[in-house]
Amino acid sequence: MGAGLAGSVLAERLASKANKKILLLDKRNHIGGNTFDYYNSDGILVHKYGPHIFHTNSKEVFDYLGNFTEWRPYEHRVLASVDGQLVPIPINQNTINDLYGLNLSQQQVQEFFDAKAEKKDQILSSEDVVVNVVGRELYEKFFKQYTFKQWALDPSELDASVTARVPTRTNKDNRYFTDKYQAMPLHGYTKMFYNLLDHPNIHIMLNTDYKDVVDEINYRTLIYSGPIDAYFDYCFGKLPYRSINFKSQTIDSENYQPTGTVNYPMSQAYTRITEFKHLTGQKHGKTSIVFEYPTAEGDPYYPIPRKENTEIYNQYKTLAESEPNTFFTGRLGTYKYYNMDQVVAQSLTLFKKITLKKVAQVNGKDLF
Ligand code: FAD
Ligand code: UDP
């Protein structure tokens, strides 16, 4: 259930490697989950659910997806609009020199950070992560308000893992990611999904909420990649998710901004603007951009990493482990702030696990 990466990778593996018959359900009217992209009315390739940039250090994941798409090399770069300037984020040597009109060497940037850092004995929160390395001033300029807009929480109330996604550097590396493999599917994510799901054993039903049909279907095993709390009818309470309102625009000009994404960590209501042509490499006389306005209401896009939510999730996880023929996976099914590559890796691991004889049998009966 769920035709995003988690559900689709498992469908492909089980169909092609274990010769299983798969019924893939999704309540949306398209495959691809949150990675879905399409050509808008101006003929520009855009991502429906916000910018998706593929990056991974896993050769296994990169090679696996490479069976279903050619790649276009792409290294994402992001500028942050701070104090009236556009400066690189992650904070690095260029950021400090641009922001303060300095000409510091790498060594001097390290000394600059050391002089500003508020050293913490323990890194417990998303505030600690940043102030521990760069101090309060840069934290307030780049992280405090952006994080509040994104999560409606102060960074001190969020797990360290959230802002730890964005490193601090002393060199001049302006890239957003440093993973070994950084590339975009040459013809887009949706095309990659068509190839992934193109197997005679895979049948797809769109516009179908699994709850409406589950009692009508004879199945041996359910793989569930929707929100885990919904599966259990919220019996331990609702897990909080963050959503986003995406506001798109097409502009009658070839370019809009110098990099794929510009972050707005200060006063605007949106967090960032992305111009898709940087990501896709498409040549077009016009350009399409998207503004992201975070919100509590709407599709569940982001699990919110903090202790009280993990405690609720762990109750659902315990219940999930007692369901003999249902497997939970994906960003929503395991309530984890996972990137695409982590979801693919998780599904490949789950495939191996469920096809092992000892797991594939319950009470001596085959699960598949
Ligand atoms: P999803 O893609 O959410 O798929 C779950 C599917 O289940 C959905 O299609 C949903 O419709 C379906 N579903 C749910 N409930 C039901 C139901 N009751 N019945 C039927 N179907 C149901 N990752 C990166 O690596 N790089 C990025 O740059 C990046 N940018 C992102 C930007 C944004 C704004 C967001 C929200 C995420 C981003 N991600 C990025 C993360 C990426 O989207 C996820 O890791 C990945 O798409 C998760 O795949 P999934 O299959 O677990 O979930
Ligand atoms: N963040 C921030 N300022 C930035 C970029 C990121 O405060 O300019 C924080 C914010 O809390 C954000 C988190 O770091 O949610 C992770 O950033 P990332 O770009 O990885 O977010 P995603 O692409 O997943 O939305």
Tell how far the Cα of 163 is from the centroid of ligand 2, in angstroms.
Answer: 6
Query: What distance in Å separates the CA atoms of residue 82 and residue 94, rounded to the nearest whole number?
Result: 14
Q: Are 37 and 277 in contact (CB under 8 A)?
A: no
pLDDT of 358 higher than 50 = no
Mean pLDDT of the residues in the chain? 96
Residues with Cβ < 8 Å from 173, sequence gap 6 or more? 92
Q: What is the pLDDT of residue 293?
A: 98
Tell how far the Cα of 147 is from the centroid of ligand 2, in angstroms.
Answer: 7
Query: What distance in Å separates the CA atoms of residue 210 and residue 143, rounded to the nearest whole number?
Result: 39
Instruction: Please tell me whether residue 312 adopts helix, strand or coil conformation.
Output: helix
Ligand 1 lining (C-beta closer than 6 Å) = 1-7, 25-28, 33-35, 49-53, 209-211, 225-226, 244, 301, 330-332, 338-341, 343
Nearest listed ligand to the Cα of residue 53: 1
Instruction: Please tell me whether residue 47 adopts helix, strand or coil conformation.
Output: strand
Query: What distance in Å separates the CA atoms of residue 89 and residue 94, rounded to the nearest whole number?
Result: 9
| 366: confidence class by pLDDT, cuts 50, 70, 90 | low
| Tokens 């929160």 -> residue | 125
Query: What distance in Å separates the CA atoms of residue 193 and residue 69, rounded to the nearest whole number?
Result: 9
Angle at 221 between CA 16 and CA 2, to 5 degrees: 75
Q: What is the pLDDT of residue 324?
A: 83
Tell how far the Cα of 333 is from the centroid of ligand 1, in angstroms.
Answer: 10
pLDDT tens digits, one per residue of 45-98: 999 999 999 999 999 999 999 999 999 999 999 999 999 999 999 999 999 999
Q: What is the DSSP letter of 34?
A: G
Task: Tokens for 168, please give them.
Answer: 């601090």
Question: What torsion do the CA atoms of 301, 304, 305, 308 make, to the nearest 10 degrees?
Answer: -140
pLDDT of 169 higher than 70 = yes
| Tokens 């990056």 -> residue | 55
- Residue of the nearest CA to atom 14 in ligand 2? 163
126-140: average pLDDT: 98
How far, in Å, are 197, 265, 368 from residue 219 at the CA level? 19, 48, 9
Which of 58-67, 96-105, 288-297, 357-366 shows the lowest per-residue confidence on average (mean pLDDT)? 357-366
301-310: average pLDDT: 98
Query: What distance in Å separates the CA atoms of residue 324 and residue 66, rounded to the nearest whole number?
Result: 33
- Nearest Cα neighbor of 276 from 294, 290, 262 is 290
| Most informative mutation of 55, 136, 150 for ligand 2 (most atoms within 8 A of CB) | 150
pLDDT of 142 higher than 90 = yes
Angle at 276 between CA 278 and CA 64, to 5 degrees: 85
pLDDT of 111 higher than 60 = yes
Nearest listed ligand to the Cα of residue 34: 1
- Nearest Cα neighbor of 155 from 193, 122, 129 is 129
Ligand 2 lining (C-beta closer than 6 Å) = 80, 89, 142-143, 146-147, 150, 162-163, 165-166, 263, 265
Tell how far the Cα of 85 is from the centroid of ligand 2, in angstroms.
Answer: 19
Task: Tokens for 311, please give them.
Answer: 């405690």
What domains sit in the chain, N to C, each tagged with a CATH number?
5-31+197-240+304-366 (3.40.50.720), 78-164 (no CATH)
Query: What distance in Å separates the CA atoms of residue 242 and residue 227, rounded to the nearest whole number?
Result: 13
Query: What distance in Å separates the CA atoms of residue 230 and residue 45, rounded to the nearest whole number?
Result: 32
Tell how far the Cα of 123 is from the centroid of ligand 2, in angstroms.
Answer: 18
- Nearest Cα neighbor of 89 from 161, 31, 173 is 173
Q: What is the pLDDT of residue 227?
A: 98
Q: What is the pLDDT of residue 110?
A: 98
Q: Are 66 and 183 in contact (CB under 8 A)?
A: no
Q: What is the pLDDT of residue 18?
A: 95
Q: What is the DSSP letter of 159?
A: B
pLDDT of 365 higher than 80 = no
pLDDT of 367 higher than 90 = no
Q: What is the DSSP string of 130-158?
A: HHHHH-HHHHIIIIIHHHHHHHSS-GGGS
Question: What torsion do the CA atoms of 146, 175, 33, 284 make, to the nearest 10 degrees?
Answer: 100
Sign of CA dihedral 97, 52, 7, 326: positive
Task: Tokens for 98, please give them.
Answer: 């641009």
Task: Tokens for 197, please give them.
Answer: 């799901």
Question: What torsion do the CA atoms of 264, 265, 267, 270 make, to the nearest 10 degrees?
Answer: 50
pLDDT tens digits, one per residue of 225-261: 999 999 999 999 999 999 999 999 999 999 999 999 9
95-116: average pLDDT: 98
Q: Are 296 and 243 in contact (CB under 8 A)?
A: yes
Query: What distance in Å separates the CA atoms of residue 37 and residue 50, rounded to the nearest whole number?
Result: 9
| Tokens 């975009």 -> residue | 184
Record the pTM.
0.96
193-213: average pLDDT: 97
| Most informative mutation of 34, 225, 273 for ligand 1 (most atoms within 8 A of CB) | 34
Q: What percent of the chain has pLDDT over 90?
A: 95
Residues with Cβ < 8 Å from 156, sequence gap 6 or more? 125, 126, 127, 128
